[in-house]
Amino acid sequence: MLRDEQIDLRKQRARAGRYTLENLGKNRVFSNYRITNAETGGQYVVGIRGFSTGDNTCTCPDFKANTLGTCKHIELTLETLKGDQPAHVQRKKAPIIVPEVYLHYGEELQLGLHVPPRHTDQLGRLAKRYFDERGLWSNRGRYQDFLEDVEDVPEPVNMVNDAVEFLHREVERATMALREAEWTAELERGTQPWELLPIPLYPYQVAGVIFLACRGRCILGDDMGLGKTIMALAAVELLARECTLARVLVIAPASVKYQWEGEIRKYTTRAVQIVDGSPDERKKQYAEATFYRLVNYEQVVRDTGDINAWQPDLIILDEAQRIKNWASKTSRAVKKLNSRYAFVLTGTPLENKLEELYSIVQFVDERRFGPAFQFLHDHRVLDDSGQLVGYRHVERIRRKLEPIFLRRTRDEVLSQLPQRTDSNVFVELTEYQRGLYDGQKVALARLLSKGALNDAERRRVLACLANMRLICDSSYLFDQSVNPSPKLDEFGELLGELGLASTTPRKGQHKLVVFSQWEQMLHLAAAVLERHRVGYALLHGGLSGKDRKAVLAKFKTDEACRVFLSTDAGGVGLNLQMADTVLNLELPWNPAVLEQRIARVHRLGQERPVRVINLIARNTIEERVLKVLEQKQALFDGVFDGTDDDIPLEAVGSRGFAESVQRVLGDAPIPIVQPATNTAPLAEPMLLALEALVRGLTAQADTGTLCVDHVARLKQLGTELRLRFGG
């Protein structure tokens, strides 16, 4: 039923689209056809061999992955041909004139053999030995033997391109499986099979190198900081030695390209090129010879054709969670790239939804999980209203992942990592901050009490949540006329505790990495550092790649530069092992982001114990974030580390927008201020909010300008006053 529905859906899409057909052969029916999308200009080739499902082929990605034996291009071609052909022709199939080895894209990818009615005895024996009565691979022999035997058949056998690729891939897979067994046995005996890089690798890293090189297209999902980059570089050296690897494309976030360049130059002698500049400059760079080519995800969207023209042997996706959304332009562009091998590196292969994992796996093996419609049907649990409430049959996913997915947690290799200590430092909001905070909380409560929200109201809810978090850091982020911030006061105290507030820096002194989601908060922290005469570097998303490289170099090499201030632009991909302390001025919503921050310091190469400090405003949304982070982590742990087959989503908070927000804010209901008589006293939070607004307006009176934020706050406060006092 489900598969029939999907076939019908493709027929509908075929009728709705605008396409042109061109017969590429001489037969009026059974031929190859070029089909062109009139709107996009996209072209695919459809091979028509019959009028039944499964008879035909198409070069489009959907046909290769959907396991239906058809696609909208095939359905369109058949519909066009049926209108021109009598019924008896539609019952025929294309005659088999020459022997042909092809690839059958059914529910299972299988090699097939078409045998013509007139054939030699040798071909007949070959067909019986390796294929069943349907002409499909029977698993009674080895692909290597088949390739050798087909050469001895007297008549020429046509080998379709995708069948040749499949055969060579399967032969190589069998060869590398033997290598993997040999190398793993050596590793278990305590000997390292080879030296690939000028640094020793830990045993678990050697195991990772073996996995990457021998599986060819796979995912390394180790916890952040365990050395995925080093393992990838070593695996490249191994493949270059064993399989004549010559061109490697690394796709990474823009902020990390220079980091890859430094690692490649440090640990290998290979030529490396960073692609950057204008379209014309990039085109010239793609034409140059190099072993490593480094691009960022945004460039892939623009340069897909040039990248494929270079024909990389291996593509390495760093921080591959960038393609977790299969509908995004970036994800679609990356999946159009072609390569023999693919390494996917990500410490967070799944953050919130199984669909994210599906999208990442698609790049490595588009058929691993089957078509998306089948995957979602088999594993998602929906309530009566169609809302997602959980996942089922997760063990099936684990089994399908096992051949291509390797993940080791920090706990598994803790003996090889430096000690890490996490501590939460709580601060109390000032009275003024509390007034601003409670004012936002009341406004939020009023919105949530309305029930169904329109888009504008949903945006107001999100704005209230953001404002509450800003106020927890510093009231200045919300109202620039004042700046009470217990967090910044605590930050100043920590500088003294760490010995950083000293005019005489000494070698071996602590170095600190400070993270905040907001660049303005980092500027406030920088002012604290300047008052204490502490050298620092500041990284944010607005810096160019070269400027980021300079900022990072300053922190690494300048002994007087003791503190590295960074937004989450520095939470991905950068190596900051020269520091030994991480300070989070606020906790991010996403547990993966928090771990990305910490892993910049607590990673391989770190020789000192690492201290992680989280500043948290007490009795605020920030305290609840701690619990929410644990809840969001439940899905991740359940899929990769858990033993339960069914995973409920209650912990992720998917029972409605308002209820999710309520869970974040606390167990107790948000107090709703009811309308009262106009003799009621003005609530203290409202007084404080009004006072802050008046100060902000007064500060701008001389210039004749009015801040948009103040206008919005004035309207919001007016609404509150009307509800409070009537009118």
224: which 2 tokens? 């952040």
Q: Decide if 387 is inside a domain.
A: no
Q: What does pLDDT average to over the chain?
A: 82
Q: Decide if 165 is inside a domain.
A: no
Which whole number is the average pLDDT over 130-154?
A: 93
Contact between residue 155 and residue 123 where contact means Cβ atoms under 8 Å apart: yes
Between 417 and 359, residue with greater pLDDT? 359
Comparing CA positions, the residue from 532, 535, 434 lying closest to residue 492 is 532
How many domains does the chain fold into?
4
For position 203, which CATH number holds?
Answer: 3.40.50.10810
Q: Decide if 351 is inside a domain.
A: yes
Q: Decide if 579 is inside a domain.
A: yes
Considering the domain architecture, whether residues 637 and 711 belong to the same structural domain is answered as: no
Contact between residue 232 and residue 345 where contact means Cβ atoms under 8 Å apart: yes
Considering the domain architecture, whether residues 694 and 637 belong to the same structural domain is answered as: no
Q: Which range in 438-442, 526-530, 669-673, 685-689 is most confidently predicted, on average pLDDT?
A: 526-530
Last residue of a domain, one of 634, 665, 696: 665
Which whole number is the average pLDDT over 525-549?
A: 88
Tell me the per-residue pLDDT of 449-502, one tens digit each, with 9 for 90 and over: 776 667 787 778 778 888 998 999 999 988 887 777 889 988 988 887 777 865
Between 548 and 234, residue with greater pLDDT? 234
Residue 716: the pLDDT is: 54
Global model pTM greater than 0.85? no
Tokens 């952040």 -> residue: 224
Residue 642: the pLDDT is: 52
Considering the domain architecture, whether residues 550 and 641 belong to the same structural domain is answered as: yes
Considering the domain architecture, whether residues 705 and 623 belong to the same structural domain is answered as: no
Considering the domain architecture, whether residues 545 and 578 belong to the same structural domain is answered as: yes
Got the DSSP string for 192-216? -S---SSS---HHHHHHHHHHHHHS
Q: Decide if 341 is inside a domain.
A: yes
Percentage of the residues of the chain whose pLDDT score is greater than 70: 82
Considering the domain architecture, whether residues 86 and 218 belong to the same structural domain is answered as: no
Which whole number is the average pLDDT over 53-61?
A: 90
Considering the domain architecture, whether residues 459 and 334 belong to the same structural domain is answered as: no
Q: Decide if 714 is inside a domain.
A: yes
Considering the domain architecture, whether residues 147 and 237 belong to the same structural domain is answered as: no
Residue 578: the pLDDT is: 87
Considering the domain architecture, whether residues 480 and 522 belong to the same structural domain is answered as: yes
Q: Decide if 78 is inside a domain.
A: yes
Q: Decide if 390 is inside a domain.
A: no
Which whole number is the average pLDDT over 342-360?
A: 83
Contact between residue 570 and residue 546 where contact means Cβ atoms under 8 Å apart: no
Considering the domain architecture, whether residues 328 and 427 belong to the same structural domain is answered as: no
Going by pLDDT thresholds of 50, 70 and 90, the confidence category of residue 705 is very low
Least confident of 108-112, 197-201, 452-456, 575-579: 452-456
pLDDT surpassing 50 at residue 268: yes
Which whole number is the average pLDDT over 4-28?
A: 91
Residue 661: the pLDDT is: 64
**Could you give the CA distance from residue 511 to residue 563 in angstroms, rounded to a whole number?**
6
Considering the domain architecture, whether residues 362 and 453 belong to the same structural domain is answered as: no
Q: Which range in 266-270, 381-385, 613-617 is most confidently predicted, on average pLDDT?
A: 266-270
Least confident of 91-105, 515-529, 631-645: 631-645
Considering the domain architecture, whether residues 571 and 473 belong to the same structural domain is answered as: yes
Residue 21: the pLDDT is: 92
Q: Which domain holds residue 492?
A: 420-665
**Could you give the CA distance from residue 101 to residue 91 in angstroms, rounded to a whole number?**
24
Indicate the pairing of strand 292-296 with strand 248-252.
parallel
Tell me the residue type at 640. F
Q: In what order do the strands lie in the sheet with 388-391?
A: 380-382, 388-391, 647-648
pLDDT surpassing 80 at residue 155: yes
